[in-house]
Amino acid sequence: MPVVMFYATLRQLTGEKKKIVPGANLREILATLEQEFPGLQAFHGEAGRFRTTIVVNGTIINPEIAMDIPVSEADRIDIFPPIAGG
């Protein structure tokens, strides 16, 4: 099972910095997390204005086309809520 890392307000929502989450692909991982943390879905936001950023082993994932990529125990998934800065 891959390790999921949380950042910013997601740490407040989940109460954790990291968690091992069952799931064979990103879609399943997010579904599991949304079940456990009902507020998570709200962070996904609205394409074009703000949204969650998902990074798998350093690769930024485009949620419109890559939610079904397989993930395994060796993978690290970073989930950032909508953030900004410069």
Partner 1 sequence: MTGWNEKILDIDLTSGSIKTYPLDMNMARLFVGGRGLGGRLLWDLVGPGVDPLSPDNVLIFTNGPLTGTAYQTSNRFSVSTKSPLSGTILDANSGGFWGMQLKRTGYAALIVRGRSEKPVYIEIKGEQASIQNAAETWGLRVSEVTNKLGQDKNRRNVLCIGPAGEKLSRIAAIMNDGQRALGRGGSGAVMGSKNLKAIVVEGNQKTEISDPERYKFMVYETRKLLAASPLTSQALPEFGTAVMMNLVNNVGALATRNHQHNMFEGAEAISGETLSETYLVKNDACWACPIHCTRISKTGKTGEVEGPEFQTAWAFGAQCGIADLEAIIEANYLCNDLGFDTISAGSTVACAMELSEKGLVDSDLRFGRADLLSSTLEDMAYRRGLGVDMAEGSWRLAKQYGAPELSMSVKGLEMPAYDPRGMQGQGLLLATSNRGACHMRGNMLGLEVLGLPKLIDRFQIQGKSSYVILNQNSNAAIDSLVLCKFTSMGVADEYFARTLSAVTGIQYATGDMIKMGERVWNLERLYNLRAGFTSKDDTLPSRLLNEPAPDGPTKGWVVHLEPMLKEYYRARGWDANGVPTPQKLAELELKEL
C-alpha 53/C-alpha 83 separation (Å) is 9
Shortest gap between Cβ of 14 and partner 1 (angstroms)?
A: 13
Lay out the site mask for partner 1 across 43-62 (x = CB under 8 A, - = otherwise).
x-x-xxxxx-x-x-xxxx-x
* Choice between 24 and 60, CB closer to partner 1: 60
Q: Which residues would be at the binding site for partner 1 (CB under 8 A)?
A: 7-9, 11, 43, 45, 47-51, 53, 55, 57-60, 62, 78, 80-86
